[in-house]
Amino acid sequence: MPAPAPHPAPEAVVALDGVVRRFGAQTALDGLSFTVPARTIMVLLGPNGAGKTTCTRMITGALDPDDGSVRVFGRDPAIEGAEVRRRIGIVSAKPALYDRLSGLDNLRYAAELYGLGRGDDARRRIGEAAERFGITRALGQQVGGYSTGMKTRLALARSVLHDPDLVLYDEPTSGLDPESSYAVLELIREMTDEGDTVVMCTHLLLEAEGLADQVVMLQDGRSLVQGPPGELVRRYWPEHTVLVEAEDPGAVARLAGEPGVQDVRVDGAGPVVVVVDDPARTPDLVFALARHRVRVTRVEVERHSLEDLYFAVRRSSGENPIGEVHP
């Protein structure tokens, strides 16, 4: 008898399609759709109350949608919740640890609930997770005596104990000092390097910058924009611009007509904006300005960060949203 064909791997680890979730009169998620490809870091960005936490609760199946569909690993968490949750690791906004128990007992509890049992395998995994997050020496202490950073590390260790395929982090650096925050973000980066898929909620734009493969910007339970950050920035600011400041700003207008220069905008208040076909033209611009005897005080290739994008999108939401960029 021929071996059965393997099931094709689902294209997306998480897929939300038109998900609506209401709490009484309040709509927490309003037709939200996005997908999370395997082995990527998806960052859900948005202010408090935007629907980020509700989103993670939908993904684990802890909450059902009122409308729309949620698929995780190709399954409906509302129906096959236990199977889905067994493959998910989560760190909630609060570490959700049992203060009266020791760190070890917290990890043992998770190991048992996630089906690892109490045997050698569970002990080995607990040891490995504790070592990885640097909490081995504190395992015997009651969690109530842990610092915030230690609690976060314990929660992180607990989230990966069962070797999940998907990890959900809801504000994982909340309440941490800068050093601990940096360490946590490094650990998350390492995890994706090892092949995990990560969904992270945050309102800290600097955290998301450089970490996110994909972002979904949420507001009032709706997606304002989503896609890879670089793509989104290019879509929002399609022009390559160079900012030039000179002793005589009006003289910068002489760049018009130079090769690759598409436009020169002088408004008198700020720097002169020179639109070019390629930022690599910048040295040529400086050379041309020198040739025109323009005394330059500053030249800067304008680069837009995720933070710029976030505020720009939020400012323009409802007016001219830039839509979705799919990978």
Where does this chain bind another protein (CB under 8 A)? 23-24, 57, 60-64, 78, 81-83, 85-86, 88, 90, 92, 94-101, 105, 109-110, 112-115, 142
Give the tokens for residue 290: 């020198």
Name which of 96 and 206 has its Cβ closer to another protein: 96
**Closest separation in Å from C-beta 17 to another protein:** 18
**Closest separation in Å from C-beta 61 to another protein:** 8
Name which of 135 and 264 has its Cβ closer to another protein: 135
Name which of 101 and 273 has its Cβ closer to another protein: 101
Give the chain's length.
327
- The residues, any chain, with a CB within 8 Å of residue 152's CB and separated by 6 or more, are 91, 95, 172, 173, 175, 176, 180, 184
**Closest separation in Å from C-beta 43 to another protein:** 19
In Å, what is the CA distance from 33 to each residue of 47, 67, 79, 87, 326?
18, 12, 20, 22, 12
Q: In this structure, are residues 143 and 103 in contact, taking their beta carbons and an 8 Å threshold?
A: yes
Name which of 23 and 287 has its Cβ closer to another protein: 23
Name which of 78 and 273 has its Cβ closer to another protein: 78
Name which of 83 and 263 has its Cβ closer to another protein: 83
Alpha helices per DSSP H over the chain: 52-60, 81-86, 103-113, 120-132, 148-160, 178-193, 205-208, 229-236, 282-291, 306-316
**Closest separation in Å from C-beta 197 to another protein:** 16
How many whole angstroms separate alpha carbon 16 and alpha carbon 38? 14
Name which of 70 and 306 has its Cβ closer to another protein: 70
**Closest separation in Å from C-beta 92 to another protein:** 4
Pairing of strands 12-23, 88-91: unpaired
Please count the other Cβ atoms lying within 10 Å of the Cβ belonging to residue 19: 26
- In which order are the strands placed within the sheet that holds 166-170? 88-91, 166-170, 197-202, 41-45, 214-219, 222-227, 323-324
Which residue type sits at 223?
S
**Closest separation in Å from C-beta 231 to another protein:** 31
**Closest separation in Å from C-beta 28 to another protein:** 9
Residue 158 φ/ψ region, left for φ over 0, alpha for ψ in the -120 to 50 degree band, beta for the rest: alpha
Name which of 95 and 229 has its Cβ closer to another protein: 95
Give the tokens for residue 217: 């910007």
Collapsing DSSP to helix, strand or coil, 264 comes out as: strand
